[in-house]
Amino acid sequence: MKKLFILLVIIFISCGSNEEEIPATQMEAKYKIAYFAGGCFWCMEPPFDELEGVISTIVGYMGGHVENPTYEIVSTGKSGHTEVVQITYDASLITYDELIEVYWRNIDPTALNYQFSDYGSQYRTEIFYLNEEQESIAIRTKKELEDSGKFYDPIVTAISKAEEFYIAEDYHQDYYKKNNLRYGIYKKASGRESFFKEVWEESNS
């Protein structure tokens, strides 16, 4: 009886081993990446972190001419980089269209080389696309925003092909979680909250 049981187990395992194993890369194929620059990157993580389907957000630098830039040089505006948030998302749960809609609602797209209280090209707004689909969606939604009459001034947010992304220093990652009180004071004092309320809430009431 014992030998029969062992034989049945071996047969079961052998049959199961014929099933093709799904590689990890295939399982993660649905995960995609988006890059958005919207001023201070401390403020660009929270709106995306709260979305269902967003796997992670990482802040860093893109669009400059200096290799391996640090915050010290980026903050001077001399490296040409802008502060960027990298978003990894599950495309089966959330679309790029939905992400970019959140992006437009969390920036002032009429501000050239600044966002609220932060001035300099390192705080410019820019959409960095990875493929033709992302580029097409960025162009279309920008045009829709221009035609909406939501803003009196021109939309100046740039749309560019993604370049090398440099991850920012660790103390910048999830800053709003690590320094919640300081972040809250900064966000309110910068004018972000009042701007969004005026543009998106009051205008819809």
Residues known to be catalytic: 40
Cα three-residue angle 90-94-100, rounded to 5 degrees: 115
**Sequence-separated (6 or more) residues with CB below 8 Å from residue 192:** 43, 116
Nearest CA among 156, 70, 77, 76 for reference residue 109: 156
Which pair of tokens denotes residue 40? 């201070």
| Strands (E) located in the chain | 31-38, 54-62, 82-90, 114-115, 118-119, 125-129, 158-161, 166-167
By residue count, the chain amounts to 205
**Which pair of structure tokens corresponds to residue 14?**
């052998």
